[in-house]
Amino acid sequence: MFFLFYLVVMDKKCIISNIRSDTGQRAEQIASDYLRTKGFTIRNLNWRAGHREVDIVAEKNNILHIVEVRSLNSTYFQQPYQSINREKQRNLIQAANAYIQRYRLRMEIQIDVISIVFNGDSHTIEYMPNAIYPKTN
């Protein structure tokens, strides 16, 4: 009996995980479409450098934009962008550095955030340019 209950719980976790993944992919598609309408060229989606990932790498006016996409189905507890902690910020900065080194780019770079809140079939989007920047001493 315990074994069957455990399988059901595990199965529900897998379903929840898949729903989160689908929501994240939907948000990234909405964000990349939004950027295109604003004149950005999308260079990469889900670019990886080791365990670090950049949701969107875009370019506009000779500026490279590293874009983190965050989404939620409700803002009851927080806005999507509020889930970006210091560790995630460090990872984004390190991934940005890895990207410019990998492609030997010499251009200005900034890290932007797109925050999406879903409400059924509709959504609201907030674009925050240059939202994350390295600390300078």
Predicted confidence (pLDDT) per residue in 52-100, tens digit: 899 999 999 999 999 999 888 765 565 666 667 788 889 899 999 999 9
Tell me if residue 112 falls in helix, strand or coil. Answer: strand
Judged by DSSP in three states, 27 sits in helix
Which string of b and e fits 2-19 if b means at least 16 CB within 10 Å? Answer: eeeeeeeeeeeeeeeeee
**Residue type at position 13:** K
pLDDT at 136 over 90: no
Average pLDDT of 96-114? 93
Query: What would the mean pLDDT of 106-122 be, rounded to a whole number?
Result: 89
At 36, the amino acid letter reads R
Query: What is the architecture, at CATH level 2, of domain 2-132?
Result: 3-Layer(aba) Sandwich (3.40)
Is residue 105 pLDDT above 60, yes or no? yes
Reduced DSSP (H G I as helix, E B as strand, rest coil) percent helix, strand, coil of the chain, to 5: 40, 35, 20
- Phi, psi dihedrals of residue 22, rounded to the nearest 5°: -65, -40
**What proportion of the chain, given as a percentage, has pLDDT over 70?**
74
Q: Above 80 in pLDDT, residue 19?
A: no
pLDDT at 25 over 90: no
What was the pLDDT predicted at 86?
86
Residues facing residue 124 across a β-bridge:
117
The rounded percent of the chain whose pLDDT value lies above 90 is: 49
